[in-house]
Amino acid sequence: MKDLPKIERLNNGLPLVQRIADHPWENKVTFNPACAFVSDASELSRIISALPFSLGIKKSLSTESGLCFLLYRAQGKPSPEYDFSHSSVGLAVLNPQLKLLARHTEPVLLPDQSYDNLGVEDGRITKVGDRYVMVYTAYSSGTPESKIRLALASTTDFVHWEKHGLLKGSLNEIHNKNGMIFEQTVGRKFVMLHRPMQGPHAMAIHWAESDDVFEEWNDRGVLMEPIRNPAFTDTWIGGGAPPISVGKDRFLMIYHIGNRKASGDREYDLGIAVADFASGKIILRRAEPLLRPETPAETIPDAELGVANVLFVCGAYFFREDLYLPYAGADSVVLAGKIPKNELRRYLES
């Protein structure tokens, strides 16, 4: 579509973060990265002091005008001692233009609770007050089937996390995922996107409200339904990056589109929309696909744990009016893209 903003693939389309053979917890795949961009000098100084890096690396990080803290999902090979295929969360630090600067050797969030014992997956981060709150998919064993629910964790430095348990309210009565909190309140309410996997209007983007992110969330129903792609037999959607304010009570939404062929082969694309909760329509405009998997890193997966032809985004931020998008390719590596400000302005104003 001619009105779609163009995305630039950064780092020549090569991975920013990928598996490390010597790290059992991430020696297979690293993908679906949440992110938080911090530019306040005093906050950066405090966070850098808590990072588990050498003094030399910390000094180098202190010279940056801002830092992207990347919290990515990682899986490794099962071993007799521990099944590292259960997802944990790793930490990497990048400059504003998404160049890798440092990477922690240990996971910062583990699947160590009864409600997430099979995996801490696909987090999204939003700053709430003086803390960074992550909504993540808690995958756990259960009877008669494993459970997929939304859970919360928070931090002030991206290294030390406090888990707050499962999300309160009816959202977790069925399998649910792709939870994310808006960066600003709407009508004095916190707003969350989520994607029920069962029940009425399943596999569509729903929204919910709360007076307190750690208290009960009230479901408000469907926000966006999937648009059937005639090239596939089945299509669904889910939230991607936490919606970002673009002024005038509008929010920019980057979301994912899942498609399945009759053969069972899948393709995950990205879409873009603008929401305005002050209007009766809410979704003002929408276009897809914004980006399809094309490069080797996006189409060729890890042979055991990856999935071919997948793009997946869990975070985005503005820097000098350009929109930066860390994203996953083929459920295997972390890549990076950018929507230049002139392209984004053209889309928002056309």
- Residues with Cβ within 8 Å of 328's Cβ and at least 6 positions away in sequence, in order, are 31, 32, 33, 310, 311, 312, 313, 314, 334, 335
What is the identity of the amino acid at 323? Answer: L
Number of residues written out for the chain: 350
Confidence of residue 2 (pLDDT cuts 50, 70, 90): low
Convert the pLDDT of each residue in 189-226 to its tens digit. 999 999 999 999 999 999 999 999 999 999 999 999 99
- What's the mean pLDDT when you consider all of the chain? 97
What is the identity of the amino acid at 145? Answer: E
* pLDDT over threshold 80, residue 1: no
* pLDDT over threshold 90, residue 350: no
Convert the pLDDT of each residue in 238-275 to its tens digit. 999 999 999 888 999 999 999 999 999 999 999 999 99
What is the identity of the amino acid at 344? Answer: L
SS3 228: coil
* pLDDT over threshold 70, residue 336: yes
Q: What is the DSSP string of 209-220?
A: EESSTTSEEEEE
- What 8-state DSSP symbol labels residue 86? S
Mean pLDDT within 69-77: 98
SS3 261: coil
Q: What is the DSSP string of 60-113?
A: HHTTSS-EEEEEEEEE--B-SS-BTTSBEEEEEEE-TT--EEEE-SS-SB---S
User: What CA–CA distance (Å, rounded) separates 223 from 256?
Assistant: 14
Mean pLDDT within 25-38: 98
Rg (CA), the chain: 19
The tokens 């709360």 sit on which residue?
A: 210
Mean pLDDT within 69-97: 97
* pLDDT over threshold 90, residue 34: yes
Convert the pLDDT of each residue in 272-312 to its tens digit. 999 998 887 899 999 999 999 999 999 999 999 999 999 99
- What 8-state DSSP symbol labels residue 301? -
Range 8-19+111-349 classified under CATH 2.115.10.20: yes
The rounded percent of the chain whose pLDDT value lies above 70 is 99
Positive or negative, the CA dihedral 189, 195, 198, 199 is positive
